[in-house]
Amino acid sequence: MKESLLALLTGLLVGFLFALFRLPIPAPPVFSGIIGIVGIYLGYRLFMIISPLFGRAVE
């Protein structure tokens, strides 16, 4: 929970600073950005599940 709160606060600060300096937001469009993040997470989890089947050590 602490990590999530810190990530949210950091994101709010970065978003505020970008708006303050009139810079474009450092994030992809909302829906495609969320889908991309979910895809990265699912790909990582998939690797963690199938890598033992190929004898690859996962740290």
The domain segmentation of the chain, as residue ranges, is: 2-54
With a pLDDT cut of 70, the percent of the chain lying above it is 93
Q: Please tell me the predicted confidence (pLDDT) of residue 36.
A: 85
The string of pLDDT tens digits covering residues 17-26 is 999 999 988 7
Least confident of 4-8, 10-14, 15-19, 24-28: 24-28
- The average confidence (pLDDT) of the chain is 86
Mean pLDDT calculated for residue range 10-36: 86
Question: Considering only CA atoms, which of 25, 44, 23, 22 is closest in space to residue 33?
Answer: 25
Q: How far apart are the first and last CA of the chain?
A: 24
